[in-house]
Amino acid sequence: MTINLQTLKCAECGSSVLRRTGLNQYECAHCGSVAVVEDDVSARLDRVLEQVKDAAADRLAKEQAARGAQQIRMLGLALGAMVVLGAVVFAVSAFLPKSRSGAAIAPLAAVKVDRTIPVDGLKLGEPRQVLVGSGSSARPRLFVLARNETGQALETPRVEAQFYDGETRLGTRTESLPVALLMPGESAPLLIDLPNGDQAVTRQELTVSRLSAPQRVVDGPALRFARVRLVQQKDELRLVGRLVNPRTDATLTGLQVLATAYDDSGAPIGFGRGYVQGSELRPGERSAVEVRIDRFGGSTPVAAWDYRIDQHVSHPDGSRSAVRAADRVVRTVGAPEAFNPELRMSTEDLLAEDAERFDLAQLELLPLIPGVNTIRQRTYMTELVNRSKDLIAVTPAAVISRFDGNTLDGTTRLDGMAYLYPGERMPVQVDPLRADRITQTRVEWKPMRAAALPGPRIPLEVRVTGTEAQMGSVLVNFSQRFSYKAVLVKGEVKNPGAAIVRKARVWVSLRDKAGRLTGFKPVDKLPAIGPGESVPFEVRIEQQGGDFATVSTVYQSTD
């Protein structure tokens, strides 16, 4: 280090904090550099450093004196405020009514309520490690069942778990029970994440964190679903329910559902928590909830299940209180309803009332029409027809199982339309997987809703403006070339309404002289269509059956 003799600062970093460490030797307290100087410079540095120390001491003394004066002023103000408060209390108490003994009744004072509850009242069952989920997505977690034996409602109890591998501590996890209130006598399941890493958890120590009663609580009736279903699709288990606010005096908010599944011995094998759609439910209003249940019982069948609903009531000042309800756990004995895992079913589909459902007998899947694709492989076509005269099938869908004799060849999923109007035909492609032919099919329909005419679909006008027969060819493996027939279809889609159609889709079908399907293709990439506007389309359709004679269309539209 060198020292700037004009400013008496470290030339390396510019710091002026220098201290003497030896004869004519100085060290920078900031960067640690050391310099050796001549005697006269050393004497000069010593005098300057002493002056700096003296200045710093004076500044510190002044700051301490200023703080002391400020504290004295604050103390004086506090004493004055206490004197004034005492005088006011004395004056007010002089006007208070006297008790029979002659003493004045003291004014009400704010009382801090201690809501803590002894932790030994929450009993924890024997913990066990479980795999939540299935296959490669399964996660190791710790399961424990907690029971409230305090005699009081508990507000979201928490449990802490300390994990060990032998005597080596691996980590700590804290988790809340999946309920807003745990009522006296109720049990609730809990899953706690295991520590990450390859180390095995050989033991764990569970402790209950601080328990407390709810801060604001009111008594009220327990909530029940107006309609509820437990549905299983392969490994996926979900509960769907419709909830109606039966109260006329309160708006419900903070609604959440805990659903639990049990095996035939009564042991929990899965649970999940879900929230009601929307932030609140006014008197008479209804909403729906879907709860996806995490399974940790492997393939153990579900023999029973239950649910409970947490609820709060809103107050005019914007606050809310938890509702303390007895006997709120609703238990059902029985297995869930099983559906094909390929069916996509919404909550609305599952919860529709009988009067809201479409009669599946009015849907017809026409006989298969054999054909060949562009490389001369066997394929089949069919059509889904709505035979109803006045009802619309909402989001029709099904799974078609294909058979060659008695041998299952696979399945084909039928979906893609939001609405199928009376008399409309939706084309479907059915391709064999391994079989040389398809001799029969079996259809599994999803639960479908119905809509009355004119229905929610925005009307469009689809017009075919021209067709052109073409020939095409395809080369396979650089050795085989196949020729096929195709038809180029041109047309336009017009929006005669007053609203913009943002999503439109058209299926264009080719038919032979007998009216049978001979090829089809959807037109998906249509732009938004303004009121009174038209957009053109062009689609090339490979001919899989006989020569085409006519063209038909069916469309979808949403705003």
Mean pLDDT of 443-471: 94
Same fold, 116-212 and 344-456: yes
Render pLDDT for 233-277 as a digit per residue (tens, 0 to 9).
Answer: 988 999 999 999 999 999 999 999 999 999 999 999 999 999 988
Mean pLDDT of 542-546: 92
Quote the pLDDT of residue 96.
45
Span 217-338 CATH architecture: Sandwich (2.60)
Q: Is the pLDDT of residue 100 over 50?
A: no
Q: Phi, psi at residue 155, to the nearest 5°? A: -95, 110
Quote the pLDDT of residue 44.
58
Quote the pLDDT of residue 524.
87
- d(CA 269, CA 54) in angstroms, rounded, equals 76
Mean pLDDT of 451-479: 92
- d(CA 209, CA 122) in angstroms, rounded, equals 10
Tell whether the torsion through CA atoms of 281, 284, 285 and 290 is positive or negative. Answer: positive
Q: Is the pLDDT of residue 106 over 50?
A: no
Q: Phi, psi at residue 402, to the nearest 5°? A: -100, 140
Q: Which fold has domain 116-212?
A: Immunoglobulin-like (2.60.40)
93: left (phi over 0), alpha (psi -120 to 50) or beta: alpha
Quote the pLDDT of residue 97.
46
Residue 457 contacts residue 442 (beta carbons within 8 Å): no
Render pLDDT for 379-429 as a digit per residue (tens, 0 to 9).
Answer: 999 999 999 999 999 999 999 999 999 999 999 999 889 999 999 999 999
Quote the pLDDT of residue 10.
73
Q: Is the pLDDT of residue 90 over 60?
A: no
Q: Phi, psi at residue 190, to the nearest 5°? A: -150, 135
Quickly tell me which residue has 């606050």 as its tokens: 319
- d(CA 544, CA 376) in angstroms, rounded, equals 9
Quote the pLDDT of residue 58.
60
Render pLDDT for 418-450 as a digit per residue (tens, 0 to 9).
Answer: 999 999 999 999 999 888 889 999 999 999 999
- d(CA 389, CA 142) in angstroms, rounded, equals 56
Q: Is the pLDDT of residue 350 over 60?
A: yes
CATH number of 458-559: 2.60.40.10
Cis omega (within 30 of 0) for bond into 454: yes
Q: Is the pLDDT of residue 227 over 70?
A: yes
CA distances in angstroms from 391 to 212, 345, 447, 450, listed in the order given: 55, 20, 15, 6
- Answering whether pTM is above 0.85, one says no
Helix spans in 426-486 (H): none
| Residue 431, Cβ density class (10 Å: 0-12 exposed, 13-18 middle, ≥19 buried) | middle
CATH number of 344-456: 2.60.40
Query: ∠ at Cα 446 (445, 449), nearest 5°?
Result: 115
79, 80, 84, 87: CA torsion to nearest 10: 60
Domain positions in the chain are 3-70, 116-212, 217-338, 344-456, 458-559
- d(CA 440, CA 63) in angstroms, rounded, equals 97
* DSSP single-letter state for residue 64: H
